[in-house]
């Protein structure tokens, strides 16, 4: 790469290779420039395994100190070139979403074993290429498989910076800027929830399950502070409630919690001498995308003095949309809210926030007085040390991705992105709801981007025997999905639910997806399922 040659010249370190030198290609063999050339020749960059070149020194020597600068910068730039090429490929609809291989096959396709001896940097670059070659292209506009899809360029840049800063969130001392950005962002999120002046508390955790667990710990501590020192045997039998819409008594047929049922269950538990302490209402269920009726639930929680948690891991982001936030009406009455920007807002994984209404509670609940971590005689305002607010001591910096993306898009940018995904999902719903060969899993327009449907291939479409039909239908989605992965054209999730046989669950959180990609998905399902 030219600039590296130039910088080497500038630094006057060692011998200077001229770019005109016939060896130059070997020295910097995989520049972005060349990758573009390969790309235009329709060769996957991952196939381009260059012969070993100047990178024969063991990679363990790599330290960007003294005369190591150039060597290190060259290596990192090589990796970046590989990544940039991968990104361009990932967004290209002509590229496969996945180059699928079975686990045992994939284990044979490369030497993945760990060795005693160091590898050369060349080998490291080859490993990077091989890893990407067989990775899922989660940024691909036709990757719909999970709640987290897409790749935001500003978010990615922010994550690269986060890795480079390589620090820990537990104190202001070691993460001054990131701690402040977490403070600023949590406050903004609490304002959006609707808590007065954005007051309250919160933390970013490694994911929705951990955020929800932290909420339960707070609820338990709030009701029985002695649990912290005396343990579970010091408290009565506690009961938590949530809707799993497989339990029909608890949720209606579109997956929403039924408040009257909740109240009945609470009373039953109390009669048995148990203590209801926690209700987790769901804002956006995983499969149906259903929103529990928060206002009615909050009335019940208030009546029985129960902590109300809203699990908005998937649906919380709709709070940013003026058009859709009514689905979470009543969220401001919750004691705590889980909201994962790594799902609907397409922030790179991991990014999950727990927001808490009461100030001070997190600290009281989790403080361990580990004086080796949280010295009380430090020379700055200790309220910025966050390490005592949760179970974790070390905590990864997850805030910068969200913060930088928010700066880049503004609140209105996130809103537009979310609205667009919901529009695409409505387009899909409208397209298939009356289309021959399709059946919707639940009635009515989806509330989130989840569209759940069966595709019935012509062969089983008119079967008389209902049980026989069901048995066949159950096998359709898995086969179509397996074929999708083998062709690598698209990926969408399927599952059974209660007595419902396997159906497709389409979700859209990928900002790169378009109406044409939705059309493609339907055509592809029909192409791959036609003969079943």
Q: Does 114 bind its own copies (CB under 8 A)?
A: yes
For 268-306, strand residue ranges (E) read 275-282
Q: In whole angstroms, what is the distance from residue 458 CA to residue 472 CA?
A: 12
Q: Does 16 bind its own copies (CB under 8 A)?
A: no
- Pick one of 103, 434, 466, 531: the residue that binds its own copies (CB under 8 A): 103
**What is the crossing angle of helices 399-432 and 176-193, to 10°?**
40
User: Taking CA 407 as the corner, what is the angle to CA 402 and CA 411, rounded to the nearest 5 degrees?
Assistant: 85
In DSSP terms, 500 is beta-bridged to 497
3-state secondary structure of 430: helix
Q: Does 407 bind its own copies (CB under 8 A)?
A: yes
Question: What token pair was written down for 381?
Answer: 């305002």
Q: Does 13 bind its own copies (CB under 8 A)?
A: no
Q: In whole angstroms, what is the distance from residue 312 CA to residue 331 CA?
A: 9
Q: Name residues contacting its own copies, limited to 184-243 (CB under 8 A).
A: 184-185, 188, 206-210, 213, 231-233, 237
DSSP sequence for 468-507: HHHHHHHHHHHHHHHHHHHHTS-EEEEEEETTEEEEEEE-
Q: In whole angstroms, what is the distance from residue 334 CA to residue 340 CA?
A: 16
Please return the burial class of 191, using the count of CB atoms within 10 Å of its CB with bins 0-12, 13-18 and 19+: middle
# chain residues binding its own copies, by CB under 8 A: 159
**Toward its own copies, which CB reaches closer, 372 or 462?**
372
CB of 495: closest distance to its own copies in angstroms?
Answer: 4
Q: Does 14 bind its own copies (CB under 8 A)?
A: no
Q: Name residues contacting its own copies, limited to 456-485 (CB under 8 A).
A: 475, 478, 481-482, 485
The residue range among 47-55, 121-129, 252-260, 294-302 that interacts with its own copies, by the rule CB under 8 A, is: 121-129
**Left, alpha or beta for 291 (phi > 0: left; psi -120 to 50: alpha)?**
beta
Q: Does 519 bind its own copies (CB under 8 A)?
A: no
Q: Does 54 bind its own copies (CB under 8 A)?
A: no
Q: Does 447 bind its own copies (CB under 8 A)?
A: no
The residue range among 53-61, 251-259, 321-329, 516-524 that interacts with its own copies, by the rule CB under 8 A, is: 53-61
**Toward its own copies, which CB reaches closer, 171 or 298?**
171
- Pick one of 512, 518, 525, 528: the residue that binds its own copies (CB under 8 A): 512
CB of 472: closest distance to its own copies in angstroms?
Answer: 13
Count other Cβ atoms within 10 Å, centred on residue 304: 17
Q: Does 101 bind its own copies (CB under 8 A)?
A: yes
CB of 233: closest distance to its own copies in angstroms?
Answer: 4
Q: Name the residue among 528, 414, 517, 422 with its Cα closest to residue 140.
A: 517
Q: Does 27 bind its own copies (CB under 8 A)?
A: no
**String marking each residue 347-386 x if it binds its own copies according to CB under 8 A:** -xxx-x-----------------xxxx-x-xxxxx--x--
Q: In whole angstroms, what is the distance from residue 242 CA to residue 281 CA?
A: 6
**Toward its own copies, which CB reaches closer, 112 or 326?**
112
Please return the burial class of 380, using the count of CB atoms within 10 Å of its CB with bins 0-12, 13-18 and 19+: exposed
Q: Name residues contacting its own copies, limited to 331-350 (CB under 8 A).
A: 342, 348-350
- Pick one of 64, 196, 444, 459: the residue that binds its own copies (CB under 8 A): 64
The residue range among 44-52, 142-150, 296-304, 463-471 that interacts with its own copies, by the rule CB under 8 A, is: 142-150
């Amino acid at each position: 790469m030219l600039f590296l040659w130039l910088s080497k010249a500038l630094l006057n370190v060692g011998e200077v290779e001229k770019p005109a030198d016939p060896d130059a290609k070997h020295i910097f063999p995989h520049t972005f420039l060349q990758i573009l050339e390969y790309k235009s020749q329709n060769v996957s960059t991952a196939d381009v395994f260059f012969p070993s070149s100047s990178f024969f020194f063991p990679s363990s020597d790599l330290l960007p100190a003294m005369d190591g600068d150039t060597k290190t910068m060259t290596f990192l730039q090589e990796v970046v070139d590989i990544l940039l090429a991968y990104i361009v490929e990932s967004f290209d609809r002509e590229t496969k979403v996945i180059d699928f291989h079975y686990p045992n096959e994939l284990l044979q396709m490369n030497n993945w074993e760990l060795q005693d001896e160091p590898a050369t940097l060349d080998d490291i670059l080859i490993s990077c290429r091989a890893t990407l070659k067989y990775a899922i292209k989660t940024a691909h506009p036709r990757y719909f498989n999970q709640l987290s899809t897409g790749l935001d360029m500003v978010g990615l840049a922010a994550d690269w910076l986060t890795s480079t800063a390589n620090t820990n969130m537990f104190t202001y001392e070691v993460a001054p800027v990131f701690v402040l950005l977490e403070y600023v962002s949590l406050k903004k999120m609490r304002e959006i929830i609707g808590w007065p002046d954005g007051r309250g508390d919160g933390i970013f955790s490694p994911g929705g399950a951990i955020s929800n667990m932290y909420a339960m710990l707070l609820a338990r501590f709030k009701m029985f502070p002695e649990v912290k020192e005396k343990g579970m045997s010091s408290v009565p039998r506690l009961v938590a409630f949530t809707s799993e819409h497989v339990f029909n008594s608890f949720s209606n047929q579109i997956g929403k919690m039924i408040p009257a049922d909740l109240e009945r269950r609470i009373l039953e538990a109390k009669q048995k001498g148990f203590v209801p302490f926690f209700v987790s209402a769901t804002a956006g269920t995983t499969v149906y995308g259903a929103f529990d009726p928060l206002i009615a639930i909050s009335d019940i929680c208030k009546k029985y003095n129960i902590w109300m948690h809203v699990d908005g891991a998937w649906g919380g982001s709709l709070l940013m949309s003026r058009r859709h936030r009514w689905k979470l009406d009543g969220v401001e009455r919750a004691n705590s809210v889980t909201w994962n920007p790594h799902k609907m807002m397409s922030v790179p994984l991991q990014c999950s926030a727990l927001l808490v209404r009461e100030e001070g509670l997190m600290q009281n609940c989790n403080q361990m007085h580990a004086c080796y971590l949280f010295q009380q005689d430090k020379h700055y305002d200790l309220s910025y040390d966050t390490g005592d607010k949760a179970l974790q001591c070390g905590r990864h910096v997850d805030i910068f991705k969200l913060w930088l993306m928010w700066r880049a898009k503004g609140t209105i940018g996130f809103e537009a992105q979310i609205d667009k995904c919901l529009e695409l999902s409505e387009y899909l719903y409208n397209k298939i709801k009356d289309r021959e060969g399709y059946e919707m899993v639940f009635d009515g327009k989806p509330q989130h981007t989840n569209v759940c449907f069966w595709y019935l291939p012509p062969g089983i479409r008119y079967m008389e025997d209902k049980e026989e039909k069901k048995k066949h239908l159950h096998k359709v989605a898995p086969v179509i999905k397996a074929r999708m992965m083998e062709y690598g054209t698209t990926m969408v999730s399927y599952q059974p639910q209660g007595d419902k046989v396997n159906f497709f669950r389409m979700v859209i959180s990928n900002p790169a997806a378009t109406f044409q990609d939705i059309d493609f998905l339907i055509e592809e399902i029909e192409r791959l399922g036609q003969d079943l």
